[in-house]
Amino acid sequence: MVKVLLPPWSAGLVETSVTFEAPPLDRGAGIALWRQIGAAIEAAIREGHHAPGQRLPTEAELAQRFRVNRHTIRRAMEELESRGVVRVEQGRGSFVAEDVLDYPLNARTRFSEIIRAQNREPAGRMLRLTEIPAEPRIAELLEIRRGRMVALAERIAMADGRPVALGSHHFPAHRFPGILALLQENPSITHALAACGVPDYRRRITRITARMPSAEEAEALQQSRSRPVLVSEAVNVDGAGRPVDATVTRYAAGRTQMVVES
């Protein structure tokens, strides 16, 4: 059995605050100050001065730079958030909104292929590799006895360096005794299954729900606990129709949308 405990969730996922040059406000123009401030922030974002996902200065910092009170800044940020220009997360600050990632659901779902098809760079990192007894629901999905050992691989999936999904993959340990060692060397699920004699696999079923994240999930996905996550429960099968992977994935709902292809 391979058991790997990696550093805390946030390792390598540091968010940086961006600088902001505040232009002077025209206090005699008859245009509300919060509108001028919002327009200035939006212009800076659209001109590419601030990258998607980066944290903007705090309300206090912006208030000092624009020489207004924090209520005026808050009003500007609320308006920008309502139009999808920024996202405001309670307790964490304001961030430049990212483009929403389309995640198609079909018979052949491969994270890296989906990300590259949208001109983004995929990446993955294993957070935990171990063997555990199968919980009743996982045993049902894998069509094995309850309590039988499964290989668990918890993986964070990223697009352009931003986490978009936190997946818990369960493989029947008796069928794939070396899969954890393979995943320790290379985090690609497709590569590991191919090395175990499953050159290709397809999605049998996907169930999607939504809920609020746990503190650990919110930290891993770099989002507030006040924002929901999409939860997918999926089963992948080999060419003979036998389950090879039962996966529970939590997606950052603000960065992904599921696309059902017919």
The mean pLDDT of 238-248, rounded to a whole number, is 96
Structural tokens at position 256: 């992904």
Residues 161 and 48 in one domain: no
- Of 79, 96, 113, the position where a domain reaches its end is 96
Strands 162-172 and 202-211, bridge-based pairing: unpaired
Residues 59 and 151 in one domain: no
Beta-carbon contacts of residue 30 (< 8 Å; ≥ 6 apart): none
16 part of a folded domain: no
Residue 11 has pLDDT above 50, yes or no: no
- Of 43, 73, 96, the position where a domain reaches its end is 96
The mean pLDDT of 244-257, rounded to a whole number, is 91
The mean pLDDT of 170-195, rounded to a whole number, is 95
7 part of a folded domain: no
Contact predicate 200/110, CB 8 Å: no
4 part of a folded domain: no
Residues 160 and 234 in one domain: yes
- Of 74, 96, 118, the position where a domain reaches its end is 96
Structural tokens at position 12: 């390598």
18 part of a folded domain: no
Provide the pLDDT for residue 10.
37
Provide the pLDDT for residue 167.
96
**Cα–Cα distance measured from residue 160 to residue 120, given in angstroms and rounded to the nearest whole number:** 6
2 part of a folded domain: no
Residues 219 and 90 in one domain: no
Residues 135 and 224 in one domain: yes
Q: State whether residue 234 is helix, strand or coil.
A: strand
236 part of a folded domain: yes
The mean pLDDT of 186-215, rounded to a whole number, is 94
pTM of the entire predicted model: 0.69
Residues 104 and 230 in one domain: yes
Residues 159 and 238 in one domain: yes
Residues 146 and 256 in one domain: yes
Residues 232 and 153 in one domain: yes
For the stretch 142-152, pLDDT in tens is: 999 999 999 99
Residues 90 and 104 in one domain: no
For the stretch 56-78, pLDDT in tens is: 999 999 999 999 999 999 999 99
For the stretch 85-102, pLDDT in tens is: 888 877 778 888 777 788
CA dist list (Å): 178 to 74, 78, 127, 237? 54, 51, 18, 18
8 part of a folded domain: no
131 part of a folded domain: yes
Print the domain residue range for 168.
99-260
Contact predicate 106/203, CB 8 Å: yes
Q: Is the dihedral of CA 236, 239, 243, 244 positive or negative?
A: negative
On average, the pLDDT of the chain sits at 86
Structural tokens at position 166: 């936190």
